[in-house]
Amino acid sequence: MKQKLVGADELVDRLKHEELVTLPTLTWEELAITGSLEASPLRDASEISYWEGLGPEAKKAAGAAALRSLGARHLIDLMQPAVADSGGNVELHPAAELGLILAARRQPSYVLVGSEPQRGLFGFVRLHGVIDERRRMNIVLLERTSGSGVHEFALCLPARAAEEVSTWACGPDALNGEKGETLVRTIEIIRPSQAGPSRHRLAIFVGRDSNALGEFDEAGEIVSQAPITAADLRSRLESLLASAGAVGTG
């Protein structure tokens, strides 16, 4: 997709007074028509498979409906038609909110992926780090998804992002009820670099009465476990996010 990014200064400035700036939700179809399913480093196989599995007519109809939805919510300028070229690329004229979401998902400075691998939920919660060199700020696009086809977005700073992720990771398992089975949630922070991406992985074992933190070795095996609270994890994640998004590094 060829994108004309509109400045989002006002949205970023709101973080001086608000901990969480809510952004528009987007469906799989809206992400697909804006080129964000394939372009994002966090390529979700199930979402891409869904979109690619549509027949030509169904995909055309879904894309047209997605564009109408974006236009109706004033997220793209319908006065400047979004016409696909021969390669299927669409030139959009996004509003600040949509432009920020697309830019952060396409070229994040770092990402955090929170998943429930036992249930096949990849990227249940995702963070896309954006380093604002001019303001010398480490900004985070928070994204939540389930299996319903809707992605929720918000803008925040690392401290609030760490709180959101730790609350999810250490939260009770509503689906297990009283079974008492241990649920494993994983958190992976990935930061690109010239030498290749650096990764830091954690596993949270969610039990009925307590939680434990698992540490991975370089081979991807869990080598240790220790009790952990949501507050402890929040502090750990805030430090990791601050390091991953240190202004002027990488």
From the list 93, 98, 37, the residue with the least C-alpha distance to 62 is: 37
Q: What is the mean pLDDT of residues 69-92?
A: 72
**pLDDT greater than 50 at residue 86:** no
In the three-class reduction of DSSP (H, G, I as helix; E, B as strand; rest coil), residue 233 is classed as: helix
**pLDDT greater than 50 at residue 140:** yes
Annotate 51-102 with three-state secondary structure.
HHCCCHHHHHHHHHHHHHHHHHCCCECCCCCCCECCCCCECECECHHHHHHH
State the Rg of the chain over Cα.
Answer: 19
Q: What is the mean pLDDT of residues 136-157?
A: 89
Q: Write the pLDDT tens digit of every residue in 93-132.
A: 889 999 999 999 988 999 999 999 888 778 789 999 988 7
Which pLDDT score, from 0 to 100, does residue 180 have?
A: 66
Q: Say what angle helices 158-169 and 230-244 make with each other, to 10 degrees.
A: 140
Residue 32's CB: how many other CB atoms inside 10 A?
Answer: 22
Are 172 and 180 contacting, i.e. CB atoms less than 8 angstroms apart?
no
CA-CA-CA-CA dihedral for 37, 42, 44, 50, to nearest 10 = 0
From the list 222, 220, 221, the residue with the least C-alpha distance to 212 is: 222
Which pLDDT score, from 0 to 100, does residue 3 have?
A: 36
Q: What is the mean pLDDT of residues 59-65?
A: 90
Structure tokens at 219: 């081979």
Give 18 or 1, the one with higher predicted confidence. Answer: 18
Are 243 and 102 contacting, i.e. CB atoms less than 8 angstroms apart?
no
Which pLDDT score, from 0 to 100, does residue 1 have?
A: 34
pLDDT over 90 for what percent of the chain? 44
Q: Write the pLDDT tens digit of every residue in 168-217.
A: 999 988 666 556 678 999 999 998 777 778 889 999 999 888 899 998 88
CA 62, CA 60: separation in Å to the nearest integer? 6
Domain ranges of the chain: 27-107, 108-250
Burial 183-216 (b: 16+ CB within 10 A, else e): bbbbbbbbbeeeeeeeebbbbbbbeeeebbbbeb
Question: Check: CATH 1.10.10 for 27-107?
Answer: yes
